[in-house]
Chain A
């Protein structure tokens, strides 16, 4: 803070003197960066590539420097810097050949910071959005298949968060809150692994409320779609103890949705 500085009477502040700094040619900086990448000094490499866009703005070197800067930061696991570099590449050079890679780096930098389900899933949402944009904007890029795989995992993470909160409310016996959280998983995250447990938890919640007909339907949908899932065995056992068979009301909105999904799922 300024209190210490004010005590020091000698500091008069620097004076300006003219001196010319020789320009280092762009190729040398770029090669120097690549050299550092090989010796896995990623942070040093990132600094070198950043110098490129600083010293030679608006040149082809600046563009190549920027994408390499994003890549170097990604390798150095400095996620925030990788995100800033890849985002500035996408805004400056949207329709160049490396744009897909920049989008991939942006997505993966968020993806690698996804925390466990008990903590804020903002990273998962950002990763999901970036991955979906990659699949939609650069459909024929080589990263699309990996992106589709990661989308599934990011969605699984978001469903996991809903389940975590749902289970919290179930344990607190706040059944409407729990039911609505599990319904969110059943309707929005059908393709994730959590949907089986969501249906079983719905059976439990409705049984605790005493609305056995809803419990039956949830268990029936679960049995219909995941007959050999351990969750179906639990739901079935629960209904047995309550003296009820699981039966599904056929024309329900949810079983129609599942029928469509099931044919698609089995097709894969």
Chain B
């Protein structure tokens, strides 16, 4: 059959014919052609053995333009429009586009935006379509009100919600935009909050939203009926599975009689009981809560029914979506495998553990029916997230001055779950580079084996007159013992080299090594003491430690951690003990143990209390060979291995500001000798600062610290002048004996700090006033007269801030 096409202009006959041949009947061809939008009218007729197709083409669109848009850029908007250049003009499509633009603006909080469309005829017979947008003001949430809430203040409920009211910060934030979906989520948050605090009858009566012209925003009113607060009347359970006896379940119950009814405790009890049953080989158990409310006595009687669920097994576990992470990295995190009984609680634990890995944007575990009634297929859909991080960060702290760090890290190296990090630090008083690698599943077991290499230089002269460079490496194996506790075994080998600067600008060693033309000399050419000590002179203990020493040390860290989230702690205990033994070769021989315990507890809503204790001791276990062959006597622990503590022990003190000092020269402030034993305690409370909007991220804290550091066990006399004699009295050069002031005084302070989670990164200001400290002693030095020496160095104000960009 021949097909004749009439009336086509731009569209060539071949395309029209392919529509006719491609469809079953003439009617279907006509419908397809109209639907294609190319033609405004199509008529098909059969004349003899010919089919005549008569078409009238729709006029073509020349250009599509959006004008008046400031908030959203043109391309994004034009991408969404269905009306396209060089396509036939269709009024229905244009109207749909107007509605679409309105909806886009509503979603970004511009519900008041007005959109209109017009066409402009062009001389070449085509038409331009122009969409004009008037964006209007920002329609955020002006007010959030609550009606019927007595138990909790409106302010408290507002703080629970994600959506916030517009305020002077509106230009910075986006969570004050009215979004029905977010409001529904907020309603759920409020409902859970009430159920958590005993209001079993709680009902959200209505959520009324109206646009208020005057306030230029939405006013949202939640009407709630709280009902009474219930306490737990009685707790009972009946187990219909004889292998699961009631006494197993008794200690899994979280809700106590008489306590305020808490829905979350009930949920926690359910999962605890199921876990207990699973551990006893009963994986098919289902625990169902029952609640009988007794309005008269404001109590609710809770019951837990333990039943036998369906005996379903896992047929297959499919890991999907892992474009980077390897299959076994996901599979090894599951305690359950194919062929095992299916249990919802273990599934949720696996999902939480996988999300905790940090390799995935999100992890969702779903099930679908298997090949037989008692088989189910488990699908684990993961979405890899880039785990590589290249970060440049800068900061300032009173102890290290301005510091900057460049770091490259990858926490899912080659999808094998391995962690790799290379970082370089540059600062006023310190610089360094370090590399670390960790394999979380060494040899298939749950060992986290890894190694670190580092080289760090730090200029301590602001506090103790020497510069120190440490270079070395460490290998470590982390062994988790239980869900909360683990031990890390470590062997590290590092070389420490200590140097005392001796230049005209920093003459800290010019008594021993006079600087020509600078140090005043005695007639016999030696440095005139004590004049050479006025401009700051390193303690002879420091002089003895000059040079480099090798330390080969083995140690372990025992850690116990039940804190909810270490970055934002609310509840839980973190405790660690670190015994270390140096002496497998190398120059240092000592046994050192240090420990710390921090207990967080949420005292009242958002106010977190912290109790911290810390302590440590070091004991020499053999000759610590000095690195420069000077004749010495006294204790044999090297100066550098002592504890040098300050603000980390008691805030309000300068670094190395606490502990034994050498008062043989007037410059004792900068000549801390370090101690062998320290003990410290802290009481702190962190709270959100009232009256300031929450989204600024400001928190305050008040604290009280106390602690002490004592017990200098280093050498006490050196033949600095190498004349074979140790002369302790005032000699021509520096006295060759250390005069140690070592008091077990309790240092304490009280203070407050402001923590600001600023857009530039976490910043912390600490102000602490020292209540008690070692006041030191008055000593007269020849040619100087009476001087107070040996007192602790305080530093009331500390600032540390950093940003990662």
Contact = CB atoms under 8 A, between A and B. Distances in A.
Nearest to A6: B171
7 contacts: A3-B174, A59-B12, A59-B15, A118-B328, A118-B415, A120-B323, A177-B339
B28 interface: no
Interface stretch (B120-128, B147-155, B190-198, B387-395): B120-128
The SS class assigned to the B binding surface is loop
Contacts, number: 108
Given A119-B323, A164-B327, A172 B67 contact: no
Given A119-B326, A169-B337, A2 B108 contact: yes
B311 interface: no
Nearest to A171: B444
Interface string A23-55: 000000000000000000000000000000011
B10 to A, nearest CB: 8
A57 B337 contact: no
A54 B86 contact: yes
Nearest to A62: B15
B338 A58 contact: no
> What bracket does the count of chain A residues touching chain B fall in?
35 or more
A13 B67 CA distance: 6
A120 B319 contact: yes
A7 B632 CA distance: 71
A165 B331 contact: yes
Contacts of A58: 10-12, 15, 36, 38
Contacts of B74: 14
B214 to A, nearest CB: 21
Nearest to A177: B338
A10 to B, nearest CB: 10
> What bracket does the count of chain B residues touching chain A fall in?
35 or more
B67 A14 contact: yes
A187 interface: no
Interface of A: 1-3, 5-7, 11-16, 18, 20-21, 54-60, 93, 95, 115, 118-120, 122, 161, 164-165, 168-169, 171-172, 174, 176-177, 180-181
Given A20-B62, A119-B327, A171-B444, A180 B338 contact: yes
Contact of A13 (B14, B70, B128): B70
A133 B108 CA distance: 44
Given A20-B62, A176-B339, A177-B339, A120 B172 contact: no
A172 B337 contact: yes
A232 B14 CA distance: 63
A5 B71 contact: yes
Nearest to B110: A2
Interface in B50-71: 62-63, 65, 67-71
A115 B339 CA distance: 27
A51 B710 CA distance: 81
Given A3-B174, A6-B70, A176-B338, 9 more contacts: A13-B69, A21-B62, A21-B63, A59-B10, A119-B322, A168-B328, A172-B337, A174-B339, A180-B338
A54 B123 CA distance: 22
B67 A15 contact: yes
B87 interface: yes
B337 to A, nearest CB: 5
Nearest to A11: B70
Contacts of A181: 338
A18 B337 contact: no
Interface in B328-372: 328, 331, 337-339
Nearest to A172: B337
A55 B14 contact: no
Contacts of B337: 169, 172, 174, 177
A16 B327 contact: no
